[in-house]
Amino acid sequence: MRSNTGEVRYLVLAEYATPYLLARVRWPDVAQAITAGCPDWLDDPGLFDLPYDPHAVTVSFPQAASVAAGWGRQLGDEPTAGAPAMMRRMPANWSDLSAAERDALGLEPLGRPRASARRLRRIRAAQPKTGAPVPVAAPRGGHAAVPNRYGRVATTMVDMGSDPQERRHHVRVRVDGRVHIRSAYATVSAALVDLSEGGVRCVLPDAPPALAPVTRFDGPFLLEAEVATSRICLAVPGWIRWTHGSRAGTHFGVVFANLDDRQADGVQRFMIAAGSKRRSR
């Protein structure tokens, strides 16, 4: 767990939950951005408007460092001095960048390779069509947080002997990688175990006492696959549904708040990419 330090604010813009621009802003002296197509920091005064854009997601330093690493850039504690500057004739509109802006930021073309249509259909067809969400069960002897009929969450012991399949409301995929979860002024970084549209299962060698059932994470969640270059940033809150300690560490399950259609599509594409790479090893 690492506390957020410094005055520089880090933000990302994402398409289908996949970050395509990382910015760092500190008024009035720091306004820089990088992208996958432009991994060298670029000064842009229009970035001072980015924190007020509804599509921008504020991330912590560890989350920003993960995005930068995916583009081959090591994120330092200090902004780059003497970076080339983008000249503007009008205020930036980050929801609708001009062709010249997209070209300068290396965002042409921005479109992502489409995932296999067959695999997407297979995942979507496996989702339940009707019915209420199914509470996520914890491993044997673990603690689970289960909503009662009034919508409140209560912690209860769960015996997996009566439910060996550990029922889930969404299809889950085994993913090797890491998840960086922002909560208040700290970031929890844990190993990924599996992922679905409904949540994520993680493990920490030494979990802090704050990781207990019903603990809320403000988000966002930054997930990175170990064997693929895929990264997704889910700008939603979540909460711990269950925890279970073992010799390998503390496993815990996190339930996401409802994802919108584009975020859900991004999760499906991430699972396909990470799952395909994992099977090919």
Render pLDDT for 222-235 as a digit per residue (tens, 0 to 9).
Answer: 999 987 678 999 99
- Cβ pair 251, 207 in contact under 8 A: no
What's the whole-model pTM score?
Answer: 0.78
Whether 56 shows a pLDDT value over 90: the answer reads yes
Domain boundary among 76, 104, 132: 104
Mean pLDDT, all residues of the chain: 78
- The closest alpha carbon to 219, from 194, 196, 237, 246, belongs to 237
Shared domain for 165 and 269, answered yes or no, is: yes
Q: Which residues contact 118 (CB under 8 A, 6 or more apart)?
A: none
- Cβ pair 193, 174 in contact under 8 A: yes
- When comparing pLDDT for 206 and 251, which is higher? 251
Shared domain for 216 and 153, answered yes or no, is: yes
The single-letter code of the amino acid at 213 is P
Domain that includes residue 234, residue range: 117-280
Instruction: pLDDT band for 164, please (50, 70, 90 cuts).
Output: very low
Q: How many domains does the chain have?
A: 2
Question: Which of 73-82, 113-122, 164-173 bottoms out in mean pLDDT, i.e. has the lowest?
Answer: 113-122
In a domain, 274, yes or no: yes
DSSP for residue 28: T
DSSP letter string over 92-115?
Answer: --TTS--HHHHHHTT-SS-PPPPP
Q: Which residues contact 280 (CB under 8 A, 6 or more apart)?
A: none
The single-letter code of the amino acid at 254 is V
Strand intervals (E) in 18-68: 18-26, 30-34, 42-43, 57-59
Whether 159 shows a pLDDT value over 90: the answer reads no
Residues 225, 179: Cα–Cα separation, whole Å:
9
CATH number at residue 205: 2.40.10.220
Whether 162 shows a pLDDT value over 50: the answer reads no
Q: How long is the chain?
A: 281
pLDDT reported for residue 214:
86
Residues 23, 126: Cα–Cα separation, whole Å:
37
pLDDT digits (tens, 9 = 90+) for 217-269: 999 999 999 876 789 999 999 999 999 888 778 999 999 999 999 999 999 99
